[in-house]
A and B are shown apart, each in its own frame.
Chain A
Amino acid sequence: MGADGTEKSKTTYREAMREAIREALRSDDRVFLMGEDVGRYGGCFGVSLGLLEEFGPERIRDTPLSESTFVGAGIGAALAGMRPIVEIMTVNFSLLALDQILNNAATLLHMSGGQLPVPIVIRMTTGAGRQLAAQHSHSLEGWYAHIPGIRVLAPATIEDARHMLAPALADPDPVLIFEHGSLYNLSGELRPPTRPVDLDHAAIRRPGTDISLITYGGSLPKALAAADELAAEGVEAEVIDLRALRPLDDAAIAASVTRTHRAVVIDEAWRTGSLAAEVCARIAERSFYELDAPVERVCSAEVPIPYARRLEEAALPQTADIVAAAHRAVD
């Protein structure tokens, strides 16, 4: 209870995700969670802690270290009418299951002439910032957003961590959920959703009139911090959280650029061939005549993410980089 006597719902991104999984398991007996160390260990990042005790080993399944096969098994179980949630420890490990995700999950519906929808949810951690070096730190969600047939989500707030899973499970097609590792400890009050959570629309996290900061996932807190700094200087930045990386909310991007006439796209992935590149291309296609300045991009340096703290920080988009890019566009 808070000091004023009202019910406070203070939680973390991690707990919100866990609550979403718990709710799904309680409300639908077709749902089960499967992955490496999701049970007895409690999840590599602690997301599923306690769920084994509550739901038992049939529904909270520890798997062998066989990414391709437990993801493929999730696809098969989905074909047979189950609603599996498959957890992959990190996006880097998901490459071992890329064959199953691309060649089966994303293609079976089309290849079978519409006979075989694959209602699977695959969750994984993405991103850098914790000195985990080059095989645990990359942001490859943009690669997955390249693939027709799957939906790609990047919850960046406690609300989205809590409320995106249910509609993802209700989707008849494969949904990939990317959870940035730096967000798990994000703490705050969980507000009840004011409207049904959808998986199609970007969200304006801060309204503004002078420039659009377009981002998603782990870069959202940095973009919001940059907007605060810019506001202190008299520049009102609008912060757009894409939320869904596929399909992209073209209309929201175009509407924001139409309001502000300037844009910075922030993406923790490498610049070349990135989701940021796709967003820029769409702005060029739809909103070229609205622009008053070239679109700026803030991405990771084109280097395998290094271990040393100073090097890692230098490789990643930082608040100061976003502020500097905004200045280039505005000044």
Chain B
Amino acid sequence: MSLARPARTRKATAAPKPAKKTARNRQGPRTAPPADRSAAQHRANLLESLLRIRRFEERCVELYSAAKIRGFVHLYIGEEAVAVGINQALTSEDAVVSTYREHGHALARGIAAEAVMAEMYGKATGCSGGRGGSMHLFDASRRFYGGSAIVAGGLPLAAGLALADRMRGQNRVTCCFFGDGAFAEGEFHETANLAALWNLPLLLACENNLYAMGTALTREHAQTDLAMRAASYGMPAWAVDGMDVEAVEQASRRAVEGIRTGTGPHFLELRTYRFRAHSMYDPDRYRGKAEIEQWKDRDPVNRLMERMRENGEPVDEELARIEQKITEEIDHAVEAAEKAPEEPVENLLRHVTSASTGPVS
């Protein structure tokens, strides 16, 4: 059946193509940092975003221990630079599809800590009305299409969001987060093929944290150079230091700029590491303490602060200001979640279909 289609000649490449300046490009939303914002201020903002995720999740651990939060909770601690860096390149018009390890993606997207915390509590005021929990955070108003807990299950969805934009001539990008585990699923390969074939405006953000739950990259992939394999689908693909927020931001801007000029999907392999176990149930027996410590030496928060110091920026003052601001924010989020109403049981069947908005009959 493929005989009728001319062979694709676009060269697979492992390096980004330079963004072409086209009329469409100029019309599209701009992704460069505002000119009036100094680099120092920008780094302070990045630090705040990183720390918001870090402190939010540390509080989640405490609340989990106190049995305020239940279910699966997958911590992003160590990987924050990926979510924060990529979001610098996206506008509010773009779409994000996430995974079950998504607190960082949601907070970086601008969903209020209060709405996320209420969802962790299963309260009616949560960003999914208490129906999703930690793994299923949504915010349609921010085009945050949430938390898929089926590994690779969000990838086809993201291709569809990108397809809709392409069909309607909207210069928007869809960013899909997934991990090295998803790279082993058929849905990744089907989606990469379809996105390249149809030239979809899709950013494939592969968070390679070296483990698919407890299975090491080398035990799940015959060829562990994921960017190289992605490039074989005919899309620009390259690896990025996922522990360096500025490197992630820079790479994302290049990729997103390329996508906006109509050069189709781009793939970033973000090399990162989670400092905590896979979930709250995971005893973490499959990796050594030394390995974890080695990666902690590359902590994205410390790394950014070192760079700020090197540039003579007032790190300690910024840090104190940010820590205080975030503590208040999270205190407020917890307090609000504690006080928030539960969804009444009479509303159990609400939202099963669009018609089922009333109480159980």
Distance (Å) between the CB of A119 and the closest chain B CB?
A: 9
Residues of A within 8 A of B194 (CB): 63-64, 66, 69-70, 73
Interface pair A113/B160, CB less than 8 Å apart: no
A78: chain B residues within 8 A (beta carbon) = 160
A binding-site residues for B, Cβ under 8 Å: 32, 37, 40-41, 58, 63-64, 66, 68-82, 84, 99-100, 103-104, 109-117, 148-149, 151, 172-173
Interface pair B158/A113, CB less than 8 Å apart: no
Q: What are 16 A-B pairs at a CB distance below 8 A? A: A68-B190, A69-B155, A69-B187, A69-B191, A75-B156, A77-B161, A79-B145, A82-B163, A82-B164, A99-B150, A111-B138, A112-B129, A112-B138, A113-B132, A114-B350, A148-B353
Name the A residues within 8 Å of B136 (CB-CB). 111-112
With both chains docked as a complex, state the minimum distance between the C-beta of A238 and any C-beta of chain B, in angstroms: 28
Given A71-B156, A72-B159, A76-B161, A112 and B190 touching (CB < 8 A)? Answer: no
Interface residues of B in 137-189 (CB under 8 A from A): 138-140, 145-146, 148, 150, 153, 155-165, 167, 174, 186-187
What is the bound-complex CA distance between A180 and B148, given in angstroms? 33
Closest Cβ neighbor of A66 among chain B residues: B190
Q: How many residues of B contact A (CB 8 A)?
A: 47
**Which of B150, B153, B164, B352 meets A80, CB within 8 Å?**
B164
**Contact pick for A73, options B129, B156, B353, CB 8 Å:** B156
Residues of B within 8 A of A103 (CB): 148, 150, 153
Q: Tell yes or no: B193 within 8 A of A by CB.
A: yes
**Beta-carbon contact of B352 and A73 below 8 Å:** no
A77 & B190 in contact (Cβ 8 Å cutoff): no
- Judge whether A76 and B140 touch: CB under 8 Å: no
The 5 closest A-B pairs by CB, nearest first: A76-B160, A72-B156, A113-B129, A80-B164, A69-B190
Q: A99-B150, A115-B139 are in contact. Are A72 and B160 (CB under 8 A)?
A: yes
B160 engages A77 (CB within 8 Å):
yes
B131 at the interface (CB under 8 A from A): yes
Per the bound structure, the CA–CA distance linking A41 and B4 in Å amounts to: 11
Q: Is B104 an interface residue (CB 8 A)?
A: no
A40 to B2, CA, bound (A): 11
Q: Does B354 reach chain A (CB closer than 8 Å)?
A: yes
Tell me the complex Cα distance, A79–B146, Å. Answer: 12
Find out whether the CB atom of A72 lies under 8 angstroms from the CB atom of B353.
no
User: Do B350 and A74 touch across chains, with their CB atoms under 8 A apart?
Assistant: no
Known A-B contacts A37-B1, A109-B354, A111-B136; A72 and B164 likewise in contact (beta carbons under 8 Å): no
Tell me whether B351 is interfacial, beta carbon within 8 Å. yes
Contact B163 A73 (CB under 8 A): yes
A204 to B132, CA, bound (A): 41
Cα(A63)–Cα(B357), bound, Å: 36
| A112 with B161: CB separation less than 8 A | no
Q: B265 near A: Cβ within 8 Å?
A: no
Residue B126 lies at the interface, judged by CB distance under 8 Å to chain A: yes
When the two chains form their complex, are residues B354 and A117 in contact, meaning their CB atoms are under 8 A apart? yes
| A41-B1, A69-B156, A110-B351 known; A76+B164 contact, CB < 8 A | yes
Measured in the bound complex, the distance between the Cα atoms of B194 and A51 in whole Å is 22
New A-B contacts (16) at CB < 8 Å, excluding given A40-B4, A79-B161: A73-B156, A77-B164, A79-B160, A80-B95, A80-B160, A99-B187, A100-B153, A109-B351, A109-B353, A110-B351, A111-B128, A113-B128, A113-B129, A113-B132, A172-B354, A173-B355
**A97 (CB) vs chain B CBs: closest residue:** B156
B95, B153, B354 — most chain A CB neighbours (10 Å): B354
Partner pick for A110 among B95, B131, B158, CB 8 A cutoff: B131
Q: Of A74, A75, A115, A173, which contacts B353 at CB under 8 A?
A: A173
Q: Which chain A residues lie closer than 8 Å to B159 at the CB level?
A: 69, 72-73, 76
Q: Tell whether B130 is near chain A: CB-to-CB under 8 Å.
A: yes
How many whole Å from A82's CB to the nearest CB in chain B? 5
- Is B39 at the interface (CB under 8 A from chain A)? no
Q: Are B146 and A109 neighbours in the complex by a CB distance under 8 Å?
A: no
Q: Which residues of A contact B1 (CB under 8 A)?
A: 37, 41
Report whether A115 and B167 are in contact in the complex, using a CB–CB cutoff of 8 Å: no
| Minimum C-beta distance from A58 to chain B (A) | 6
Q: Are A115 and B138 closer than 8 Å at their CB atoms?
A: yes
Residues in A neighbouring B126, C-beta threshold 8 A: 113
Q: Are A112 and B140 in contact (CB under 8 A)?
A: yes
CA distance A99 to B153 in the complex (A): 8
- B71-120 residues with Cβ-Cβ distance < 8 A to A are 95, 97
Contact status B163-A104, CB under 8 Å: no
Query: Which one, B157, B190, B351, contacts A113 given CB within 8 A?
Result: B351
- Of residues A37, A58, A73, A74, which shows the largest number of chain B Cβ atoms within 10 Å of its Cβ? A73
| Chain A residue, CB-CB nearest to B186 | A68
**B residues in contact with A99, CB < 8 Å:** 150, 153, 187
A241, chain B: closest CB distance, angstroms: 23
Q: A121 to B350: give the CA distance in the assembly, Å.
A: 22
Are A79 and B351 also in contact (CB < 8 A) when A32-B167, A69-B190 are?
no
Minimum CB–CB distance for B116 against chain A, Å: 13
Nearest B residue to A120, CB-CB: B160
